Structure 1
């Protein structure tokens, strides 16, 4: 699942050099500070994310990270690794499969599934994993100017 990442230097990859099956990854361990910062930036102060007391009574039994925090790691992959600087998000769909907790290490993986050279579009599967279990599944479309 996590092996065979493309090791790309920071810099835009020309669409002609992108191949189906190329994949890149990013990992980050979620902290209390991350959740508080994301709540501040997004305005999402849902108590399941920010209140230990509230979350302890939820179906999750403890605080969970915002789903869109983990999903935002795809932006890091696209903007810095593949295709790289200058690319533009066109579309993203997401299915949230499992919660992410404080202390979990999220591994975001983007894999090229198709390429439309004429329209300068690259399509990716976008998945996040925690402990080898999928927590987010999706697809993205990226434009390369």
Structure 2
């Protein structure tokens, strides 16, 4: 399941305070396995149900950075989109994401520095209206002046 807004580019000249973009994705076992392979993070809390049952989570959870990667997808594909460059990101993980959870990843413009082409974004991920991740990102937005 993947539900997201149109992809492309929003140049710094067109970005406005309060703009919001999002995507919605079901986190699958395959996603977790692929993330473990790519990241080399094979912590059994992500991959081994028997092991994970004996942790504070009482079951398998997705990698936190897999969830954070959905924020990256919104930034890189929608707001600002293609041509955006990450400058920094803060993250707070509030609750686990489990296989089968549908994550809503959203970014909202909370600051704009047109002269430096920098955009400050409030970032959040929710599962069933419960925040599982919050943070802020600073990105360099593309500009029509540099096309």
Assess same fold via TM > 0.5: yes
In structure 2, list runs of 5 or more residues that go unmatched: 143-147
Total equivalences in the alignment: 139
Query: What is aligned with 2:103?
Result: 106
- Residue-by-residue CA offset, 1:101-132 (whole Å, 9 max, x unaligned): 11100100000000000111000000000010
Secondary structure, counterpart of 1:78 in structure 2: helix
Secondary structure, counterpart of 1:72 in structure 2: helix
Residue 30 (1) aligns with residue 65 (2):
no
Q: CA deviation at 1:137?
A: 0.5
What TM-score comes out, normalization by structure 2 length? 0.91
Q: CA deviation at 1:11?
A: 2.5
Preserved contact between residue 5 and residue 23 of structure 2 (Cα < 8 Å): no
Whole-Å separation in 1 of the counterparts to 2:79 and 2:66: 20
Matches for 1:1-145 after TM superposition, within 5 Å: 9-145=6-142
Q: CA RMSD in A?
A: 1.3
What TM-score comes out, normalization by structure 1 length? 0.92
